[in-house]
Amino acid sequence: MVIISIELKSANPNAEKAASENPFSQYREIVKKNLSNVGKVIAVHSGKGGVGKSTFSVNLAAFLAQKGFSSGLLDADIDCPSCNKMFGITERIKSVDGKFVPIEAFGVKVISAGNMVANSDEANVMRGPMMFKLIFELLAKTDWGSLDYLIIDLPPGTGDNPLTVMQLAPLYGIVVVTQPQEVAVVDAKKSVNMAAKTNIPVIGIVENMFGTIFGSGGAENAADSLEISFLGKIPLEQSIRESSDAGIPDVIKNKKLAGIFDSIISEAAI
């Protein structure tokens, strides 16, 4: 990854010298300071898009809030954000005293680039340097207050955007989400490999959308071969899709799904 230089003012000349030699370390320290009141920062990733990673992230954050924890969600999928839609959030993000103010929905503090555009159909068209700058600012300039958990919905793949978050954020660990079909599991293994290369603990892997259409067992087999924890499986159900489209995390009203997430959290020991 090529680190793009962003002007950061410091009263400490030694810090400026260190930043010029390794500018990334200074960015990370700023992010760590901003997230110092967050208990655990957990990233959710998938090597392949379309496996329900964002749906999992939204329901995980909402379930944690339902359990009585203070919970936040950062939608770091800058170019194709969707978490705001799944939470039913339509208003624009506001900035107060240079800090982004999260929008609260279903007990979760939410920040998404989807709430930074004039309308939901507007594309966030930007090149790498601007992507890096926006991701950094979302991590470093959002006023989360005090949280037990901050869930970060990472962009799919192993490219620049997820790598930026992995290197900037003080992650407690990463949860990998995949469908059971081999096409998706192959990329899930790449997610695990990416985490290893960036020294991020893998909390475990979740099999999403199992059933007649996509099959079952692929994620569990991958967990065995990779020697990581298999956290559980979520079925492909119409209610989850309908709730997401309606802007309501299905885990709030679906007792069966709530039980699955309770089991996943227990297995993950988070």
- State pLDDT tens for residues 29-88: 999 999 999 999 999 999 888 899 999 999 999 999 999 999 999 999 887 789 999 999
Long-range contacts of 208-212 (CB under 8 A, 24+ apart): 208/51, 208/52, 208/53, 208/55, 208/56, 208/177, 208/178, 208/179, 208/233, 208/234, 209/51, 209/52, 209/179, 209/180, 209/234, 209/235, 209/236, 210/179, 210/180, 210/234, 210/235, 210/236, 211/235, 211/236
User: What's the pLDDT at 161?
Assistant: 85
Confidence class of residue 13 from pLDDT cuts 50, 70 and 90?
Answer: very low
Integer Cα distance of 178 and 222 in angstroms: 10
pLDDT value for 159: 83
User: How confident is the prediction for the chain on average, in pLDDT?
Assistant: 87
What pTM did the predictor assign?
0.88
Tokens representing 58 are 């939204």
The whole-angstrom separation of Cα 186 and Cα 153 is 20
Stretch 108-125: mean pLDDT, rounded? 76
The string of pLDDT tens digits covering residues 211-235 is: 989 989 999 999 999 999 999 999 9
Domains and CATH numbers, the chain: 24-268 (3.40.50.300)
Q: What is the DSSP letter of 2?
A: P
How far, in Å, CA of 245 to CA of 154, rounded?
20
CB–CB of 209/184 below 8 Å?
no
| 15 CB-near residues (< 8 Å, 6+ apart) | 26
pLDDT for residue 25: 81
> What's the CA gap between 8 and 126, in Å, rounded?
21
Quick one: which H or E segment has residue 110? strand 108-112
Top-confidence residue, 111 or 5: 111
For residue 48, the one-letter residue type is K
Task: State the residue for tokens 């930074």.
Answer: 116
pLDDT for res 258: 97
Q: What is the pLDDT of residue 131?
A: 78
Instruction: Please give the pLDDT value at position 80.
Output: 77
Instruction: Decide: helix, strand or coil at residue 231.
Output: strand
Residue with the larger pLDDT of the pair 77 and 104: 104
Q: Which two tokens stand for residue 106?
A: 């279903």
| Residue 20: pLDDT over 90 | no
**What is the pLDDT, as a whole number, of residue 81?**
85
Distance of CA 179 to the CA centre of its chain: 17
pLDDT at position 126, please? 59
**Taking CA 57 as the corner, what is the angle to CA 56 and CA 61, rounded to the nearest 5 degrees?**
115
Amino acid 10: pLDDT: 41
